[in-house]
Structures are given as C-alpha cells and as structure tokens.
Structure 1
Amino acid sequence: MKLPPLHAIRLRRAARHRFGWRSLRPDQLTAMRAVMRRRDALVILPTGGGKSAVYQVPATLLTGPTVVISPLLALQQDQITALNDRAQPELRAVRISSAESAGQQAAALDEIRSRRARFLFTTPEQLSNPKRLAEVRALRPALVAVDEAHCISAWGHDFRPDYLALGHLIRELGRPPVVALTATASPPVRDDIVGRLGLRRPRVVVSGLDRANLFLEVANCATEDYRWRRLLALLRAEPRPGIVYVPTRRAAEELAERLTGADFPAKYYHGGMPGGARENLHEDFLADRVPIMVATSAFGMGIDKPNIRWVVHMALPDAPDSYLQEIGRAGRDRGPARALLLWRAEDVGLRRYFTGGAPDPEELRDLAALLRDGPTTRTALRERTGLGARKLGQLLALLERVGAADTRPDNRLGSPRYAPKPVDAATAALAEAERQQTVQRSRTDMMRAFAETRSCRGQTLLAYFGERLPKPCGHCDNCHAGLDAAVSPAGTGTTRGGFGRRGGRNGPRAEEPFPVHSAVRHVEWGSGMVLGYEGDRMTVLFDEVGYKTLSVRVVSAQGLLEPQR
C-alpha cells in the first residue's frame, strides 16, 4: 500500500484541526504541497474556490510569519475577521495599512515580532516605503501570498500600477516563497504574473473554472429597447440580489435611475465616486440593503457574498478574462444562478474606443530621459511630468518592458546601465504598446466569438483559458437548445471569426495536429501556443498578434504551423 506523502498528511491534519475542514480538494492540496516544498506557485481557482486556504493552511506549519498582499482593504478585513474569529493564537492576523494609525501599525508589527500573530496583511503602497519594507524584512517572513494577482498584469482589467514593483519588493523581503492567487488568468495574464513577480519555476494550478451551477445565456439585441426589455424580464423572474455591469460611469448612473423609476430599486457604483461612498455601497450590498447594483468593472473584486443570484452584462465585456471574473461572483453558495449577456454589434466599437490610441511618443521619450537623470520616486515623476498615477504606471510598464526603466532596492525608479537612448526607448515602447493593443483587440474578438457561438458556451469560454471540457457543459443556452439543431446540415457554420464555431455532439472532428498547450510557429504571426480545438477549428494564442482561430484541415494541408523548437 502506497502511503500518502508526509506533507499531505500534515496539511490535511492542519486543515482539520485548525479550520475544521474535513477534506481538501486535490487542486488545493497540490498548491499547498508546492508551498511546503518552498516552491513558488500560481494558483487560479474560481471565485469561492478556496484560494485563501492555499496559503492559510501551510502558514500554520511554517516557521515564520506569512505576509499577505492584497489591493482591497475590505477584502483584507474580511479575511482577517474570518481568521481571528476562530480564536486560535496560531491563526491570529494583523494589518498595516492606511486604515490603521501609526500606533496600531507599530502594535501589529510587535505582535508578529513576538509571535503572537502569524499573518500580516498589507498593501503594495505600504511596502513601497523603505522604512516599512525594512521592518517587514526583519520579521523574516516564511511565505508571501499575493492575492488578486491579476492586478499586476497590464492585460488584467483590474490593472494596478502600484503592483508593478511587487517583484522587486519581494526580493527585498529576502525572497521567501511566493504564492500568487487569482480567480481568472488567461495565458497572457499568467505570463505577466510570473514575469513581474519574478516567480521561479512556479507550480501552476488551474482548476474548477467550469461552474455547473451557473447558467450561461447570451442574447443579441437588435435595439436598445429590446436590451432593456430583456433586463426587465430577468428582474421579474429572478430573486435578488444581483449585479448589472455596464461599460461606463454615465451608463451606471442612468440605468440605476431608470430601474428605480421602473420600481426596481437600484444603486450605482463606479470608480469616479468618493472612496467613502464606494465603501458604504460595498457594505450595503453585502448586508442585502442594495438588491440591485448597477456598476462598472470597478465593483466586485474580492466580494465574499454567497447569495448573488444573477449577473447581467448590458454590453460586450472587453475580454473573456473580465467576463469570467465578473460572472463568477454569482452563485457562490453553489445554488442556481444566471449569467446573462445582452449585447449589440455596436458594443465592439465601444470596446475599440476604450482600448485607446497609441501613447504619446514625446511623453515616453521625456519620461525615459528623466529616468536617466538618476533614481527618483513616482511622486517626483508625477510632479515633473504632470501625468496621473495610472497613466504614469502604464508608461513605466512599457519602458520597463523595453529595458529603459527599472526599480531600485529603495523602490526608487531609474534607468538601467545599458538602457537605450530616450528616443530609441520611446520607439521600442511604442511598438510594444501597439503589440499589446493588437492582442487586446483579439481578446475582444474572442469575447464576440463567445457571444455569437452556436456551440457549447462552457467549452468555448474555457478554451480561451487553455482548459478543456471533455463534453458539452449542459448549463448554457446552446446546450439546452440542443447543439445538434444549432449546426447547419452541411456542418459549415456561419459564426463570425473566433474559437466557438460549431461542433455539436455530432459535429465533425478533425485530427488534432498539435497537442493542446504545445508551442507552434507561424511564418507570419510568429510563436504561439495551441489553446484548444472545437470541431475542425483550433485556437492559437500568438505572442505578437493575439488569438487566432484556424481551420485544422487548412493548417494540416498547407503546413501553416510547425512545432516550436
């Protein structure tokens, strides 16, 4: 009889004794064992999938505190409360953030120092302070957990410029093992997380992205009036609470007012509101005082609310990443929930507008020149350039990618020794920005393909993340309508480009010339990764041009792809 590894036994025992959990899911255990081996890990589990357990259970077995870095104070507070409510010294959690006074911060550090607390929650902004960074380093952390890790990625819809320096800050902490956690991350986002955090041969765990209790439904709305009537039909039929996502701040305010006037009391939420007002709305929603929240994508990250019964999108999301993240907030109690996408072709143009134009080459050149003057701070750069924090962060990220910017040990910004000249750096950064925009447009194309597909939506959506459902999901409108009936007799399909074409249960299936996740090369588009197959179509993510859907037969007949050596 083969005995289970020692780490697995200890982890299961800690989960049972410390947290009262009778079992751990295989994906959780896999990630935990990597942590126990002092190996970095990137863990992608759905909302409500037990991501926090991945660092909490091993932390009780490690010698040294665990530092948890998270972008949201409300999310931190939820996790701190959950740990401290267990009234066990081994699970005590404290925090240093802008919400605590200097005395409270000093007391928190003292609790960690004297081993009366094991978890230290903080933000990237706190660690950016050299004095604070030195204090945390002196605690000799055994583990760093980066929650909502997609925030570090320029591909992520919750991109946070303050996260960009985290890789450098973690090295300054003595480079303990790192576990990065997020609910969704497509291949470009995963690569960004690994690169920017400096993860070393990380154990990547991706599991459970299919949510069987979540019914996926899409309606192409010919008019705005039809889109409004479909929303009202759902509100009349479904219990609350729920979230309605809209693309702009103005749309959030106007739709909330219109719904309230139609006897569906609603509140709106967007990033342009004062912080206090947003925090109050967040708390009211959690307490079931807001039955309908109309919001931009600024709302929802870190929400631990199990009874959200539906999520509606009133326009095409920018990419499957944000779509999966947002619909994942429904049905966390594993009860039935709905995800309804109401879209129009005009939405694509709006998304193209949001993608924006190219950055100003003069701003890039001038910023690169300022960095060559010597190490400086972000605050000083904002004052000298007049750039906002978000835009400055994006330009710095571009310059960093082309070797014209770096972060120093004291968290000051400078120019590497062999950095290109400012004008050359601007040219290279502009080319990188254009590449990113090309990939982003392909992400929107994939979202449109999902909306237009007549195949299983679950299979189609997960294919974008390089995951494969062995059979139709059974919880989408196309599955319920009957996939066979949705495929034309000739099996040709008429859906616009994308990775969801046809396939049904009886659809033709061509041979798969390359394994899923294998590296390939195209003579024009360069290097790529095979994400999946559907019928006689294959989806490939290319480094330079983004997502492409190709005919398997054409690829095989014309030799369009070859294995990447």
Structure 2
Amino acid sequence: MTYTCIRSADPGYVTRVGDVIVRYCPDHAEALRSAGRVDTVLVTTSGELILAALAELWPGRPVVVVSPRPAARLEVLRARDLVAEPVTTKAGLRRQVLARFRAGGVGFLVLAPEQLAEPDVAAAVAASSASVLVVDEAQGVSEWSHEFLPEYVRLAAVVSGLRVRPPVLALTMTAAKRVREDIVAEFGLSDARHVAGDVDHGHVRLAVRHVDDEDGRWRLAEAEVLASQGSGLVHVADRARAEWFARVLGERGERVAVHHDAMPGRRRAEVRDAFLAGLVRVVVVAGSGEWAGGKEDVRFVVHADDPSSVDVYHQQVRRVGKDRMPGRAVLLHRPSWDAGAAEDKFDEGAMARVVRALRWPGGLSRTELARQAGLRRVELARILPALRQVGAVREIGRRALTHAAVGESDERLAELASAVFLRGRAIEHARAAMVRRYAQTCQCRRRTLLGSLGEVRGEPCGNCDNCDQGEPARGG
C-alpha cells in the first residue's frame, strides 16, 4: 500500500512505515528534514504518517507528541512497531518512563495537552535530546477552527513560556490562513516556516447539487454513490445518520463500512485496513472527526450534509485523488435549510442554573446536571465547553461533573461563560454562512473555496459545475 502526499516527478522523500510506503512531496520532505532545526507549521491530513516518518528522519532522537487524543496516537505508533510511551498518573511507572525518555530509550513520549505543564514532564523535555515537539491538531488553538479546544489555549501559553524546548512542529488539518496565523501567534512561533502543500487540489472536480427536502437528499446521495466508480467517502452529520445510510447502501449490495470517533480503536483500524485493501468500497464517516484512511486512490467524496465549515470541507476534499488522478467532490445542499436556526435561541439563565447545580455535593452526571438545570442533554452539551473554558467545571472520575471553585462568584462565572458561548456561536454562524456562500455561488467554486481560506486565485478553475456552465464569465 502507498500513501502519496503529492505525486510529482521528484517525490522528495520515500520511506516505508510498516506495510505502507510513504511518499512525500518536496515541500513536505524538506519540512520534515528541517523540523528538528526550525519551528514549522505543516498542513497535513495524515498526521500519523508524518509522526512515523520522524522516526526515520531523526533516528535516536526522541519525539514529544502533544495530542488531544493521546490514546489513539499511542495506538497508531505502537501498531507501527515504534517505541511510544504515555505519561501515566502512576507515580512509579511515570518516573520510569520519564527517566527512559531523558536517556533516549523512548522514541515517542505521548502527552495530553495539560500534561506538558506538569513540572516533572517539562523538566524531562528540557533535559532530553528530543528532536522536535509535535503539537498534533494544532488548529485546536484557534477559535476560528471548528475543532477549537480551550485546553490548547493553555497549552500554547505553556509552550511559548518554556525556557528550554526543542523546535515545534505544529500539525494542522486546515489550510485556512486565519487558523495558521492563530497557531503562530498563540504558540509564539514568530519565525516558523509554513508548509501548506497542495492547497488547490485542482484535479478534483467540485460540484453542488441542491435538494428540496430530506427525502430528496438521501435519494440523491444514494444515486451519487451507486453511480460513482472506484472507492469513496460519504460524510454525514452524525453517527445515527451514518449507520442508517450505511444500511441503505448495504441493502443495495455495496461493500460499505461506518467510521466515527466513538468507535473502539481496533474497529477503526479494521475499517481503515479494509478500505485500503479494497474490501470496502465506501466508508460513511460521521461528523467532522479525523479520518486517517491514507488511501491514495479515493475517487469521490459525497457530503450528504453541509460540513461545519469550509475548512472541514477543504480537508475532506483533499482526501480525494492523492495519486493526482481525477476525482470528484459533490456537496448536497438544501438552500432553504439552516441547521442552526432551530438552536439559535439562547436561554440567558441557563448558564447560571448550571453553575449553581454544579455545587451539588459529590458532583452530578450529565443527565442529572441537565435535569437540575432544567435543560435537555443536547442543550447542556452545547454550553459545557464555554463553562470549561472559563474554568467553572471539572470532572470527577469519568462521569461526574462538579464546580471548579475558582474564586469567582457563580454570577460572574455565568456571565463569563455566556460571553464565551455567544462569541463561539457568532463564529459558528460565520462559518455556516461561508459554507452557504460556497454552495450557493454562481462563481467558480474552487476560487470561492480557496478565497474563504485566505488563498487568492485569479482565474476560474475550469473544473467545477459552475465553470462548466460558464456562469463565472457572466458575473454570477
């Protein structure tokens, strides 16, 4: 099996990672070679293979990996026979791992974002010969990213404040200029090298099909998949829709599988391997989570639901045609439908009720907390990130939530969390508006898409449905 970053006459760098041949474009190859010398922001949709290649390029030099999904990264690295260890909470084992890391006996030290701030970990990183500090999914530091993570804001402050650290390699799945600028600013990477790779992906044909209702959406999605040649991906909004649509395709005789972030790691690996081997033709992917299929000959992607942002859409389109052969990306869009309209009302008293309920002795489960605050579970899930961002809530064990007791009054915490929530909602609305603009434009779709990412393209692409109709020349 082969993963191609970008096919070119000069592949730049070729290596074997387990049973996968990895071929990088010259820009990515040079970025990886220099990652141990200069800070780098690297746009990639295949972070796991980038990590594995670092072991080849910097033998004998350990790598620090900070990831919001440390268990998943650890599993992938170990599956490729690389020596990777987590930082555990068990004191004895933790000391052993950090000592081995300082001595060069651990190839990859895998951390959760909050662990880098812990004194023994920071000291071990400073005392080690680590070649690079990898910040996985670095787009999480930007509020403009759909994957914004409050803990990454705190991580950025820790990284920028380290007195001694190896060069930073910030991996981001989004090519949006605004997100990359946030990464540089927040992590203090003022002299960082930016490598975006093939942002254009002009060999993939872009098209939008408008639908009038939900029945029409699914009929058209089914027709698009059945009429397509080769392997492909279907993106839907959530797990329930993914499982239902996979059953529909299966009943039509398709070799189909489902992928979502809630799946056990072993099952995700089975789906990926079956897709790579051609045993599965279509994978239905739920949400905007990471799909690390690594397959170079994906021929099509169908978005049955609007993506959460143009950043997400661009990432997912770039998974088509990594072998530089023609592919196509189809978005099914319902012009009259605004998925966020039904959730647009904000109960200003909800934050205060949740903060007060968090005072319950011993903490509450999410179901109990929602009941105490007079909310549905889905409503609570929408506002919890804002409460976490202002430090109003912490977890007890795996299931219970309680008040973080940060010294602010309940009223002040509710006020701060409401401001964070409303700012986040405004960004969500702006992202949704950009998706609608892309879906409803009469201009060249590729020029519109790249423009939304901060990339300027002068001429129409000639490889989208609007260019086929000559609409850009008429001025839309």
Q: What is the TM-score normalised by the length of structure 1?
A: 0.63
Report the equivalent of 2:155: 166
Aligned to 2:26: 25
Indicate conservation of the 8 Å contact 1:315/1:347, yes or no: no
Q: What corresponds to 1:434 in structure 2?
A: 422
Deviations 1:311-364 (A, max 9, x none): 11112222101111222222223222221111112442x244467846733167
1:446 aligned counterpart, secondary structure: helix
Q: Which residue of 2 aligns with 1:468?
A: 456
Q: Which amino acid aligns with 2:54?
A: Q
CA drift at 1:463: 0.6
Residue in 2 that maps onto 1:69: 66
Amino acid at match of 1:465: L
Counterpart contact for 1:243–1:295, Cα < 8 Å: yes
Q: Say which of 467, 479, 482 aligns to 2:467.
A: 479
Aligned residue for 2:298, secondary structure, equals coil
What does 1:197-212 correspond to in 2, within 5 Å? 197-200=187-190, 202-212=192-202
Deviation at 1:468, TM superposition (A): 1.3
Per the TM alignment, residue 449 of structure 1 is displaced from its structure 2 partner at its CA by: 0.8
CA contact (8 A) 1:67 1:121 kept: yes
Q: Secondary structure at the match of 2:86?
A: coil
Range that drifts further, 422-431 or 303-312: 422-431
2:134 matches 1:145: yes
Take 1:300 and 1:462, find their aligned partners in 2: how far apart are those partners? 21
- 358 and 335 in structure 1: CA distance in 2 versus 1, 3 angstrom threshold: farther
Tell me what 2:6 maps to: none
- Tell me the secondary structure at the aligned position of residue 309 of structure 1: strand
Aligned length: 441
Conserved? CA contact 2:74–2:86, under 8 Å: no
Change (3 A) 1:276 1:104: farther
The aligned residue for residue 242 of structure 2 is: 252
Gap change, CA 1:81 and 1:454, over 3 Å in 2 = same
- Work out the CA distance in 2 between the residues paired with 1:164 and 1:347: 34
Query: Within 5 A, what are the aligned runs for 1:251-290?
Result: 251-273=241-263, 277-290=267-280
Q: Secondary structure at the match of 2:206?
A: strand
Structure 2 gaps, min length 5: 1-9, 371-379, 395-402
Give distance in 2, aligned partners of 1:440 and 1:148.
Answer: 19
Match of 2:387 among 392, 395, 398: 395
Deviation track 1:181-204 (CA, whole Å, cap 9, x = no partner) reads 112143553355345545455444
1:218-233 paired onto structure 2 within 5 Å: 218-233=208-223
1:6-55 CA-to-partner distances (Å, cap 9, x unmatched) read xxxxxx9x968999999963476468657624xx332335x369992898
CA distance in 1, matches of 2:28, 2:440: 32
What is the CA distance between 1:251 and its match in structure 2?
1.5
Work out whether 1:325 is the aligned partner of 2:315. yes
Deviation of 1:464 after TM superposition, in Å, equals 0.8
Residue 209 of structure 1: CA displacement? 1.1
Preserved contact between residue 319 and residue 447 of structure 1 (Cα < 8 Å):
yes
Residue in 2 that maps onto 1:42: 41
Q: Unmatched 5+ residue regions in structure 1? A: 1-11, 85-92, 371-378, 407-412, 494-565
C-alpha RMSD of the superposition: 4.7
Amino acid at match of 1:97: P
> How far apart are residue 164 of structure 1 and its match?
4.8
- Greater RCO, 1 or 2 (C-alpha within 8 Å, sep 6+): 2
Q: Is the 2:352–2:410 Cα contact (8 Å) retained in structure 1?
A: no
Matched, 1:295 2:285: yes
Quick one: percent identity of the two aligned structures?
Answer: 31
Which of 441, 457, 468 pairs up with 1:453? 441
User: Residues 249, 15 of structure 1: CA spacing in aligned structure 2 closer, same or farther, 3 A cutoff?
Assistant: closer
Deviations 1:142-172 (A, max 9, x none): 4211122223444433445654542355456
> For structure 1, which segment, 194-203 or 102-111, has the greater mean C-alpha deviation from structure 2 after superposition?
102-111
Whether the aligned pair in 2 keeps the contact of 1:140 and 1:174 (CA below 8 Å) is no
Q: Aligned partner of 1:149: which letter?
A: A
Match of 2:330 among 340, 347, 351: 340
CA offset at residue 299 of structure 1?
A: 4.7
Q: Helix, strand or coil for the counterpart of 2:295?
A: coil
Mapping for residues 302-451 of structure 1, pairs under 5 Å: 302-348=292-338, 350-353=339-342, 357=346, 360-362=350-352, 392-397=384-389, 399=390, 423-451=411-439
**Structure 1 Cα separation of the partners of residues 182 and 347 of structure 2:** 21
Larger Rg: 1
* Aligned-partner SS, 2:454: coil
Is residue 2:86 matched to residue 1:94?
A: no
